[in-house]
Structure 1
């Protein structure tokens, strides 16, 4: 694994280098004189081969925290804990190291880091510089940069520099506080100087890259300087003339915003009660500490001791800044007619003009404090939709005739926020001359175009009837672009109201599955089944988003059994990751044996008419996401009763081929199952909802404008509330901490997580089996027992990962079905903010997993194994138990299976099976013990069709006698006959995944 680093060492370039966890750290000793080669820096040839950068490899020097003759490894560099050796010790100091680095243009850094870099983590320094580059790009695109003339290496150079002011200055301060220690050390200078130099580097390169040709031609020194702003930065000319040009530029810069440590702040006060005047209060604010605010009245009174640390004459600064602000906001000229201006009184029209220019003042470097209601969407003009339907959700039966095409009555009203307006209030708004109106004791802003559009709409379409589906789409915002008005509230009665409330499952009577369904559903699962059946009856799609471990699989199987109990229906297509196909097969066989299940997978799978004829004989057809994409034409030709997506986050990218493929399938109903409907961005939720109910949230571009951008960029809680209201009817989300759920859960919930082998694993597995069967016939006694045990161990290693059996230190990604399932489980655990214990009986494999999982999830993964010293072991346990500590702890079964209390974890994952239930239970009890306040989810990863599943089945068949029959460890396997061993280790065809 590599860790990619970056730093700026000159105004024209960024240097990128990498550490490699495979390179052994230098053994501490006496430090030789001079600058030494960095002991685990990646070589120049490898850098050019692996980094997609157009740059030149150079030998560079970098100051790093060091101990004796070894630099400290960066925090992101995770080594195999079994081979890394002891960390270097000694007195910390800064020392320079020589290393190969790729020199690239600063503007190219973000694209380089955003590229796919397999086996790489991005260091904190590189991530920080990418964020700094983003800041620089916003300055350049916003025109907040200035041309300058500086001296570099005793030679004049033309450079673009940032013009920081207002919110930009505050962001610079925030970046300075967040600057990683690696960059602080590398610069060897004050933090602010290092950061400012780096920002200047990015701004200059980005500004030059936007100039496709030179600036306007000019002669003499000025012409040479202008030319250098878009080409070679060095300027030749008469030294005296260059010094004069530099002086003029410096004088020009000093007269612009952002050079003073204080800035003028304008606070607008709205009139209260019967008052009519608005007041703009003048103040001075510290740029570095925005909490320091001094009123202009105190400035003129001389009460400015708090400002003395920044300026000596705040009065002069205030007057100069007010004069500059008046160029943006001419209304301030009135205040400047007095010698000691403290504020400005405005009427409502003037206040609106000031509010309209607030953004310009902020951009010019001034602080503006506005009333909290300004710009808040809950008081904006919108539409209120009232609807009425007959019947209730709790009364819906198979014969009720209620579906998505049922007609409902509707009536539109205009509203401010969620308050409907009377005719008198509408007339008052229409007559108002200014968009600021006091209504019901509060000031509101009214968009006059919205008002006109709303009044026109009410004249044409105030009430009527529409289908339930049309009403649901209207509630979701469909048609807002044409109306130019958002739907701010929906009030409905009857079953449609209960559905729109997002709490239909609370109104529905819990439903029991058929009598032959072999699972006892808990109350919350029965409510979930009722909700699914209700949506099914309406023909509407939905997303069952229960937490991992709450039984989404059993609820879906119960729905299938229930809806097929008394009528013949087309088959259901269930699309899932290959790693859980076996799970669905076994769970259906276990809970709903009456369901006829077919797996559409493998090289011999049917297509065309043969496929259509075949699936008609089944109730549930299982396939994978890759095959749903590959066979999309054939699957589109079949009319499905429902299409179900398990682990629906697989279509979070709506533009992906597999997302488009499943959206193109034809079904009466569509359901999505996922514990993480939103992982990173709200667009992922749109993709899932657009699959379940196409068009319900409008187009993706509309969704981004209406919800994603306001929520993600601006933290708009009102937009988030509207989104919850819109999606609520179609998303059922229960978490393990819900009071209605937690009392229903067992103390310990165990699941066999079935995984498939990759083709590489299957080949190795068969080779090991063939070797054993060839040798076992010629051996007996101790030799035979040893051969059987060795083979069992090898087969378990193959099931874990090919690299474990081969012992070649090769890369882990993409080669193991079990590892893929482990990553899926951990992804859910991390997304939910939970903690997990991962047990393996192979300490060596655990050592390989640590750097892989650390890089995969960009998080710390401690490893407790037999070689962990007691002091380190105790510290590791203490840190894991801390709520702020690591979320994943990897343990070797022997070292961590007993004697520890790890109740911070509520997930336990057994990566490989010990085949002794008592040993596995002891390991599980590290989390499931006194002090555990949450239910523990236990998952035992087992490869389908291999000896792992077959031995597990043998143990389950003899559960009552497990201790007598199985005994301890795996010695009982050595007593099986050759024929029994052959049956045990033979690889089933279903074991191999995509």
Structure 2
């Protein structure tokens, strides 16, 4: 793994260097060469290659690895010992002239210093985009564009300064590079490069080309666009620089204190209607420091002298500059010592509309809370739907496609307005009106449009789906004059829109023959699914991982088929959980006829359609659903269910489009992570569940995704929750009503499939053993059996473990794929996991792979770990911000550790001794554990792993007997029993 670092050099340039996790000491690199530094020719080809001496934390034996560098923990040898100290190392670097992103170079992982450079580059680009730059003269002489820092920009600069990684200024020079000059130089260098690039793209020239020798100013202007260096006589240059700096100072940029305006509304308890605009001075680095102008004029401003010496002059100068944006300030400036400005409602509204301009220019602005979240004039929607819950199944007038009555009214926020209040608003002469004890902003044009809309379309009929769409969409897309701020109504639709789903739920008992005992929250989930099923509404069951989404869906299927004969249900899921579903259905709902559509010899065409119609529950994978979508679409499915529905989070993928084409009376999505990275993922899932309920993807992006993700728009987020709320049921493990009900330790099997490569290797090992075992006796036979068992377990883990060839890890193992899926969910929920394996070499392979896959540190404890390193790992994992993934070899980490920071335990491969596995699980499930522990045991279906697991379960069930330690008991099996044990089943092979 290559880790890329950024470095600011003493001469103001930027450089990149890299570490290689698997790189041996570079031969011929010379004394003091960094042993893991990547050679110059392997660095990104973005500039000139050089060598720089850097000071890095080091042990006596060599440099300490950067936190992002993940090396093979076994090949790396013992951890270094001794105290850390700074030591100089020679590293090859490549020079760059702009902000650099690791995304530009595949195969590199970003170090902290490179990510920091990206943040600095974002500030520089933003400054240039907003014109917050100034032309200047640098040493040389040369022309340079530099940042004009003030107000919020200066605050951003300060935050970056406080967060600068030491490695960013690690060049070995005298005197030591200090953070502030380094950051100033870096920002200015990036600003200069960005401005020059933009001017060059536009062919801009700042100085005319005239015959004769150019003036100093013309040479400087030309250098701002072309080659930075220019010629100048020293005395003239000094005078020019003085005038330039005076001009810079007149702009009052880069000052630590700014003027702040605070607007106070009239108190409703007084008779006055005057608004007060107060003047204050505010410290940029600490915005909580506010000094009223009255104290500034009295000289009671000692707190400000940490930053400025003449606060009174600064106050007047800044007020004068602000008056160019808000001319009403001239009235206050007519006084010798201005402290505030009295405004009427019209003047207050004018200031509120100018507040954004003042903030952009670096002034502080403190506004009333109600203006930050105003109760805007909007529409209130009331829907009236016929039918009751009990009659839902019999009513033909219910469902998203059927008609309901609706009524529109005007409202402020969620409060509907009376006719008297509407008349009062219509008579208002200014946009700010006091109503119901608070100030509100009323747009007269919007008010007139709203009243005209009510007169034209205040009542009527529409489909339930259209009503829900209007309730959630923005008013432009829904053809409304203003946003919808309140929804409600009576009947089932009103309860759904108002979030009163609990009032609709009726207790539901699983049918006879369903063998699982549902917990209270699972019974509620079943009742919710049954309700939406009867209403003909799609459902997204988004319970946390481990809360039993599978058993709730199977209960729904059993219940539905106990009531009436139905068309089959199609379940689409990842290949890694096909076996789980097949066995869970057989275990909990044995009355269901289950069919798995999978494999190279699967049925097609009319034969497939006929066979599917003879079963209750059909299981297939996302890949096959996309491949066989045409024939699957010929079946009139009763229900289509997506498990791990985040697999269609990208609505443009082939499999996402395919599952939308499948016809079904009812649709259900199961997912523990309805949103992983972007809100568009939620749209994709919801559009499968109830097509069109969130509008088109472009409408959704404009009305929800952009406002919420970019601007943190809480009103848009509330509308989204209101629209999706009826169709999404999400319970968290942290919910007290769930925690009290969950068992302390929830154990489950994770049935995995083999890849084609794994299956081929597995069969080769089996064939080799069966050819030899019949001719072997005694110790030789026992050794052959044990060796074969070990080899088969290695094949089930990963081909690279069995082959020992150091080949790639990704996309070659069903177990590793399932491990990644589970860890994705664990990390998304902010949880931590212990991962046990009995093979130290397999753990050594997983560490760098998982670290790169999740871009975070993975701890690994094995037999070669020293006691000091072991204690350090445990302490770090138990700390509040410790690594989230801890990989342990079963022998080294199975006993004697307290790892209660984890609430997930994953046994990647099995020891085949329940007592040993329980001891390992108890590293997390022990005194001090405040959360419930989920334990997952990986088993490859159709292999010896599943058959041995079944044997263990039978022994535990029948006699509570423990299987002997290790695998020695397997050597006593007959050849026939061994053949049955190791034979590979067709269902074992995934896609």
Q: CA deviation at 1:939?
A: 0.8
1:739 equivalent in structure 2: 736
Q: 2:70 aligns with which of 69, 78, 86?
A: 78
Q: 2:455 aligns with which of 459, 467, 473?
A: 459
Alignment of 1:147-186 (within 5 A): 147-151=135-139, 155-186=140-171
Pairing 1:844–2:819 present: no
- For the 8 Å contact 2:511–2:559, the answer to whether it is kept is yes
Alignment of 1:651-666 (within 5 A): 651-666=648-663
2:827 equivalent in structure 1: 830
2:43 equivalent in structure 1: 47
> Relative to 1, partners in 2 of residues 1:397 and 1:420: Cα closer, same or farther, differing over 3 Å?
same
Alpha-carbon distance in structure 2 between the residues aligned to 1:36 and 1:901: 41
Pairing 1:267–2:262 present: yes
Q: CA deviation at 1:841?
A: 0.8
SS class of match (1:65):
strand
> Relative to 1, partners in 2 of residues 1:11 and 1:387: Cα closer, same or farther, differing over 3 Å?
farther
- For the 8 Å contact 1:955–1:962, the answer to whether it is kept is no
Pairing 1:230–2:219 present: no
> Relative to 1, partners in 2 of residues 1:250 and 1:665: Cα closer, same or farther, differing over 3 Å?
farther
What does the per-residue CA deviation read over 1:870-917, in whole Å, with 9 as the maximum and x for residues that have no partner?
344344334433444333222211222223333332221110011122
SS class of match (1:617):
coil
2:7 equivalent in structure 1: 7
Between stretches 6-15 and 210-219, larger displacement belongs to 6-15
> Relative to 1, partners in 2 of residues 1:869 and 1:70: Cα closer, same or farther, differing over 3 Å?
closer
Q: CA deviation at 1:240?
A: 4.4
Q: CA deviation at 1:731?
A: 0.6
Q: CA deviation at 1:12?
A: 8.3
Alpha-carbon distance in structure 2 between the residues aligned to 1:468 and 1:778: 74
- For the 8 Å contact 2:525–2:552, the answer to whether it is kept is yes
1:769 equivalent in structure 2: 766
2:567 equivalent in structure 1: 570
1:218 equivalent in structure 2: 208
1:509 equivalent in structure 2: 506
- For the 8 Å contact 2:12–2:185, the answer to whether it is kept is no
- For the 8 Å contact 1:629–1:662, the answer to whether it is kept is yes
What does the per-residue CA deviation read over 1:337-381, in whole Å, with 9 as the maximum and x for residues that have no partner?
11111111111111111111111111111111111111414x111
1:314 equivalent in structure 2: 311
Between stretches 347-356 and 32-41, larger displacement belongs to 32-41
- For the 8 Å contact 2:574–2:644, the answer to whether it is kept is yes
Pairing 1:791–2:780 present: no
> Relative to 1, partners in 2 of residues 1:980 and 1:630: Cα closer, same or farther, differing over 3 Å?
same
Q: CA deviation at 1:313?
A: 1.5
> Relative to 1, partners in 2 of residues 1:962 and 1:770: Cα closer, same or farther, differing over 3 Å?
farther
Q: CA deviation at 1:144?
A: 1.5
TM-score normalised over the length of structure 2:
0.94
Q: 2:412 aligns with which of 394, 398, 416?
A: 416
SS class of match (2:153):
helix
- For the 8 Å contact 1:394–1:507, the answer to whether it is kept is no
> Relative to 1, partners in 2 of residues 1:782 and 1:45: Cα closer, same or farther, differing over 3 Å?
farther
Q: 2:333 aligns with which of 318, 336, 341?
A: 336
Tell me the C-alpha RMSD between the 2 structures: 2.6
Alpha-carbon distance in structure 1 between the residues aligned to 2:986 and 2:922: 36
What does the per-residue CA deviation read over 1:777-818, in whole Å, with 9 as the maximum and x for residues that have no partner?
332211111111111111111111122112233332211110
Alpha-carbon distance in structure 2 between the residues aligned to 1:491 and 1:721: 15
Q: CA deviation at 1:675?
A: 0.8
Alpha-carbon distance in structure 1 between the residues aligned to 2:106 and 2:809: 15
- For the 8 Å contact 2:8–2:182, the answer to whether it is kept is no
TM-score normalised over the length of structure 1:
0.93
Alpha-carbon distance in structure 1 between the residues aligned to 2:228 and 2:195: 12
2:90 equivalent in structure 1: 98
Alpha-carbon distance in structure 2 between the residues aligned to 1:11 and 1:422: 70
- For the 8 Å contact 1:64–1:186, the answer to whether it is kept is no
Alignment of 1:478-557 (within 5 A): 479-481=475-477, 482-505=479-502, 507-557=504-554
Alignment of 1:377-396 (within 5 A): 377=374, 379-393=375-389, 396=392
- For the 8 Å contact 2:475–2:484, the answer to whether it is kept is no
2:187 equivalent in structure 1: 199
Aligned residues, how many?
A: 978
Between stretches 34-43 and 786-795, larger displacement belongs to 34-43
Q: CA deviation at 1:562?
A: 2.0
1:613 equivalent in structure 2: 610
Q: CA deviation at 1:620?
A: 2.4
Pairing 1:368–2:353 present: no
Q: CA deviation at 1:390?
A: 3.7
What does the per-residue CA deviation read over 1:165-216, in whole Å, with 9 as the maximum and x for residues that have no partner?
2211111111111212221434842211111111112222222222212324
1:143 equivalent in structure 2: 131
Q: 2:668 aligns with which of 655, 661, 671?
A: 671
> Relative to 1, partners in 2 of residues 1:421 and 1:976: Cα closer, same or farther, differing over 3 Å?
same
Alpha-carbon distance in structure 2 between the residues aligned to 1:380 and 1:688: 31
> Relative to 1, partners in 2 of residues 1:965 and 1:711: Cα closer, same or farther, differing over 3 Å?
closer
> Relative to 1, partners in 2 of residues 1:251 and 1:447: Cα closer, same or farther, differing over 3 Å?
same
Q: Which runs of 5+ in 2 are unaligned?
A: none
- For the 8 Å contact 2:538–2:668, the answer to whether it is kept is yes
- For the 8 Å contact 1:11–1:197, the answer to whether it is kept is no
Q: CA deviation at 1:920?
A: 1.5
